[in-house]
Chain A
Amino acid sequence: MVGYILRRFGAAVLVLFAISVLVFLIFFATPGVDPAARIAGKNADPATLAQVRASFGFDRPLPVQYAMMMKHLFVSHDLTSFVNRGTLVIPQIIDAVPVTLSLVVGAAVIWMVLGVAMGTLAGAMRGTVVDPLVMLLGVFGVSLPVYWLGEVVNLITQKELHDSVFSWVPPLGYVPISQGVGQWALHLLFPWLTLALLYAGIYARLLRGELINALNEDYVRTARAKGLSERRILIKHALRCSLIPIVSLFGLDFGALVGGAALLTEVVFGLPGVGKLTYQALQNLDLPVIMGTVLYAAFFVVLANAVVDVLYARLDPRVRRA
């Protein structure tokens, strides 16, 4: 198992390296485009261009350029945005990470609990009226787009009913956890629920399907013949095996969301997270920031996948030796 973990993380490091090279090449070695002009932003003066050329070593070979870029990013942390003149890129990302992490981790807890509960309920109560009801609820969650649902939630909690039922809801925005867990959670409550609703619906449907398959497996029949209780068969045997694909999907979703895919939720609820940072950088073509966030996103996707693979091996003994 330890060997497997080491191998898996070794592979993750290699993948990260490959991604950084790829990103570097896309940004700096696309033929026919002057990278200095792109980094310097629109309408840059010749002095700025010269400064960019010197600082990124564009007159030197590509491997040296790559090394210098990585040094700016990871060693000296002094990559500068030229669009917002003088703003350092790395601190911006570092400030945004806790916001996104708070949002996604909280939502993930909610959607996993809800999704597993709904999926198990529907799968176990198949053939009764509970199953289609729960699934209908799931489809409802899946079909509400986050940007619409978020706006409606805001309309109700911040405006229409803010003076009566929802007077306890704080204004939009983010409060760091260092200022008290209560305020932090209260500010994030509706973003969490909004983001979790979609995923809870998807996970519930997926788990229901897996569970129904598992309940038809031979090993469940064996478990019944052993004289186990239905509850034990459901949880210890059928659910335990059905969770394996759910966990791998969770890793992909979680990594992507932390990497910036929670953009819509962040924008709607005014949370200054990574998604929002990327969104702004894209709007004014702030290349250094885009590059920073892309590498950051890749890092989380790869890390989440590695963690999930290790977890997967923990859950499924059959993959440990693969």
Chain B
Amino acid sequence: MPEPLLEVSDLRIRFGGFTAVDGLSFSVRPGEVLGVVGESGSGKSVSMLGVLGLIRTPGAEISGSVVFRGRDLLTLKNAEMRAIRGREIAMIFQDPMTALTPVYTIGWQIAEQIRAHEKVSKRAARDRAITLLGEVGIPAPEQRVDAYPHEFSGGMRQRAVIAMALSCNPALLIADEPTTALDVTTQAQILDLMRRLRTEYGSAVVMITHDMGVVSEIADEVLVMYGGRAVERGTRREVFHGPRHPYTWGLLDSVPRVRGARARRLPTIPGTPGAAERGCPFADRCVHSFAACVEVPPLTGESGHLDACWLPEEERMR
């Protein structure tokens, strides 16, 4: 098994009295796509912002370790972290409509990132921006490079954002719901693009999403999060064909089925997202909860398919 590119262990992020991420551990190997799934508020985005050191709320406490290529990112100085951000780890955000500075051209913004990390001329940076825009499927990149963000559609902007993220050939790309703000056909195109770029650029990808469909399209490994904790982790096959945690069952049930009898109503997970005060974070909403659930279950399991649930084996017949 190759050395992990990113190894996060026991990451904890607290805002005042509120714990947003509670002892999260996972690793990403080079070239691998990790899908991080969970409802809103499960701590997916905030944990990735924590990895990149982008949490700037005053009073936020971050502990644990985030080892990237042998260095703990949480101990790096600002300047060292800046050299990693954008060059070795790039991030794509959810809403392409607001992610670009409105007053600069697309090409200028891509060139800005290139020139922040490499000593190249303006001309060369611009040429590379044109090449990148072409690679992410923007037609007539020589002209579009001088367009402003408001002159692009949502899908085109997300392509431009992806081009910008890839501009320094990062080893790891963190994509925070990159398709959520787009319509379905555009979503499919962006996912296609990301799959293709992953083989061409060889970047590992952490794909944050609440959409099981997106995960099943693109992920090699799946991490299911609830209430700031990992509740299940395994390969895509394991999680989709043999889900072990009741929360994962709920997530998978809430996807409409194309084949078979149509359900009268789509099943939902009862209650609202939010971790329980103590014990298993999902216990409040879990139809299977029993006496043992007052204790926090550890993430355990065999052969890489891990889950955090006290439910005995025979009751997990699915």
Interface residues of A (CB under 8 A from B): 127, 217-219, 221-230, 232, 236-237, 240-241, 244, 315-318
Mark the stretch among B87-95, B195-203, B291-299 that contacts chain A: B87-95
Q: A127-B58, A221-B54, A317-B148 are in contact. Are A226 and B102 (CB under 8 A)?
A: no
Tell me the total A-B contact number using a CB cutoff of 8 A: 71
Q: A224-B54, A226-B112, A227-B116 are in contact. Are A219 and B85 (CB under 8 A)?
A: no
Q: Tell me which residues across on chain B come within 8 A of A217, comparing CB atoms.
A: 98
Q: A317-B148, A318-B150 are in contact. Are A228 and B112 (CB under 8 A)?
A: yes
List 20 interface pairs A-B (beta carbons < 8 Å), by A numbering.
A217-B98, A219-B101, A221-B99, A224-B85, A225-B52, A225-B91, A226-B85, A226-B112, A226-B164, A227-B86, A227-B87, A227-B117, A228-B86, A228-B112, A241-B101, A241-B102, A316-B103, A317-B102, A317-B150, A318-B150
Report whether B84 and A237 are in contact in the complex, using a CB–CB cutoff of 8 Å.
no
Report whether B116 and A219 are in contact in the complex, using a CB–CB cutoff of 8 Å.
no
- Determine if B100 is an interface residue (Cβ-Cβ < 8 Å): yes
Mask: chain B, 95-113; 1 = CB below 8 Å from A; 0 = not: 1001111110000000011
Report whether A226 and B113 are in contact in the complex, using a CB–CB cutoff of 8 Å.
yes
Interface residues of B (CB under 8 A from A): 52, 54, 58, 78, 82-87, 90-91, 93, 95, 98-103, 112-113, 116-117, 148, 150, 161, 164
Report whether B113 and A221 are in contact in the complex, using a CB–CB cutoff of 8 Å.
no
Residue of B with least CB distance to A240: B103
Binding site secondary structure of chain A: helix
Residue of A with least CB distance to B79: A229
Q: Tell me which residues across on chain A come within 8 A of B54, comparing CB atoms.
A: 221, 224-225
Residue of B with least CB distance to A318: B150
Report whether A222 and B103 are in contact in the complex, using a CB–CB cutoff of 8 Å.
no
- Shortest Cβ gap from A137 to chain B (Å): 24
Report whether B101 and A223 are in contact in the complex, using a CB–CB cutoff of 8 Å.
yes
Q: Give Cα distance in the complex from A316 to B86, angstroms.
A: 26
Q: Give Cα distance in the complex from A127 to B101, angstroms.
A: 25
- Shortest Cβ gap from A225 to chain B (Å): 4
Q: Tell me which residues across on chain A come within 8 A of B84, comparing CB atoms.
A: 227
Residue of B with least CB distance to A316: B103
- Shortest Cβ gap from A232 to chain B (Å): 8
Report whether A225 and B90 are in contact in the complex, using a CB–CB cutoff of 8 Å.
yes
Q: Give Cα distance in the complex from A127 to B58, angstroms.
A: 8
Report whether B82 and A222 are in contact in the complex, using a CB–CB cutoff of 8 Å.
no
